[in-house]
Structure 1
């Protein structure tokens, strides 16, 4: 049987470490454009308790999103062992394009995927590069699209990348800015025979709610009135995002598992978008509640504590780290069934059930 199988992975973890203590000197404002009536040290401490984030990574000043996307992609190609000239498609998931340090413009022409193809030196004219904008679930949606293209007979090999430099679009007066980080993750997917373990993508699900939910995450003015000069920053209605995610993501995960014909007891790992530790725990617990069960220990690998929320890059980065046994007490074996799930701006949700090769 032919299935979409991940044959190589790679990630880029930026070298600049931004600790929570670095934010103590910041002056935080609220949505009402008034200073928060709490010491910054107390705000930062409460932030860590809620999100689980202790530090995050930022890219160097001379590095852009397309650069780190290409670095992660190169590692995935090397890991797979294929010739890059045989790649049929390059899909790059991002949200803000290349934003140079100190600039306010997002640069998306040519597409980041085209830039990655250029940086990788791929000359094959039939290797088609394109971008996908789908909020934080973008990389996972790229994986779903690759699977669909394979089944349609349009491609056999696809490079799927998630990359973001959120440090370039942060409002330093907004405490939510402490959540976000930079990073890139990539995988090489091939449509091939599954072998004895019947590996590959087993099922997928996607959901989108764009009525009152559409602007839970968007671009907006600085919370500090004197800082508003036409520049826009990433903004998030945190409570609404939390409530939406905990309500709907478990349903999408369950639907994906059922479509895949997999019993809950067969599930070995859940790779969930690293958005917020408390939210991710609530989602996984609610998911198992749907089966009348408690979540097993070690079912959910985490990287948010030291990498923060790098949007589209969180899941492919985490999967690469676990796959290569770089996270303590987390490992994968041939035949393991895992579930990927994500939620983000749109609001969009998706899930993929996958059996490891």
Structure 2
């Protein structure tokens, strides 16, 4: 017995933010000193390192749970199910609902409860809860849903990943340019056939790595020190990811029982194009085989890094034939992998 994805959906906000948007920003370093590079050069470097040219922001009247509701609706429609038959709604996020032009996060009631309400589900035994696990949150939600299904306490689960990172960024930090908003969702169902989740792995590195991603004060020393924004130590994250993610991916893939030649796609968290390519190359190096062409779909160039939403959004785009260079066919073996705040890593091997 395992779980099978029977429906997918996403919501990509309509507001496109190009790198030109940041031309008038006053970027500072962590000491509050103006960066020596001009903003045009910073944007060029950003494109070279991360691949990002554009990102999407939610409309001013939308919050993370609003985006999630739309993605959930689409996944339910795609699956062709009655939402009353859902046993669990698992909502992965990290910052809750943050209204435009405010600084307060709202997580009570849970965002999962809000989505359940918006879906107008009457079934009181459909359990709705939130999951905070950094960028790997959606993948972890899938792992938890699979555990519920295999344990016999659920037959059908909705797993959502949604975030509005544009509401929690420091406008004086050049890392602001990386982040984006979005939502993705999938329906998992009990299954006894060949398709489904074959293996999974999760890990939390907290001894010395805990604060590589954190909530910190603005680089503008004149700003209120009590207001916190998403911050990261980019070099540390890059080194951590390259050292640990490929080996975790290999361990997960080896446990699936498949041969590396069977692997059709790797859907990896869209964090940084250069970093993701290096991770996947190192993964194949562990098998002493070259990285296949078109093994790793990337949409970060146009959508940016929307944290927990990147993997389910990308999966929905592929399944809905929205990426001309990528497709997933029946029987394809796909490896999902993510890394993020915690520092957390996880992976899944899935046969479609």
State TM-score, norm by structure 1. Answer: 0.98
Deviation at 1:193, TM superposition (A): 2.6
Q: What is the distance in 1 between the residues matched to 2:19 and 2:280?
A: 26
Which residue does 1:45 correspond to in 2? 44
Which residue does 2:101 correspond to in 1? 102
| Residue-pair matches, total | 352
Which residue does 2:324 correspond to in 1? 328
Aligned residue for 2:210, secondary structure, equals coil
2:222 aligned with 1:226, yes or no?
Answer: yes
Q: Which runs of 5+ in 2 are unaligned?
A: none
Q: What is the distance in 2 between the residues matched to 1:85 and 1:149?
A: 17
Deviations 1:101-140, CA, capped at 9 Å, x for gaps: 1111110000000000000000001100000000000000
2:15 aligned with 1:16, yes or no?
Answer: yes
Quick check: 107-116 or 20-29, which moved more? 20-29
State TM-score, norm by structure 2. Answer: 0.99
Aligned residue for 2:222, secondary structure, equals helix
Aligned residue for 1:293, secondary structure, equals coil
Deviation at 1:228, TM superposition (A): 2.8
Deviation at 1:44, TM superposition (A): 1.1
Which residue does 1:201 correspond to in 2? 197
Which residue does 2:285 correspond to in 1? 289
Q: What is the distance in 1 between the residues matched to 2:323 and 2:179?
A: 21
Q: What is the distance in 2 between the residues matched to 1:212 and 1:135?
A: 17
Which of 311, 315, 330 is matched with 2:307 structurally?
A: 311
- Once superposed, what is the RMSD of the aligned Cα atoms? 0.7
Which residue does 2:61 correspond to in 1? 62
Q: What is the distance in 2 between the residues matched to 1:303 and 1:288?
A: 21
Q: What is the distance in 2 between the residues matched to 1:232 and 1:328?
A: 40
Deviations 1:170-211, CA, capped at 9 Å, x for gaps: 1010000100000000000001232xxx10000000111001
Q: What is the distance in 2 between the residues matched to 1:179 and 1:121?
A: 35
Which residue does 1:114 correspond to in 2? 113
Which of 218, 238, 259 is matched with 2:255 structurally?
A: 259
Q: What is the distance in 2 between the residues matched to 1:267 and 1:229?
A: 48
Moved over 3 A (4+): none
Q: What is the distance in 2 between the residues matched to 1:225 and 1:16?
A: 30
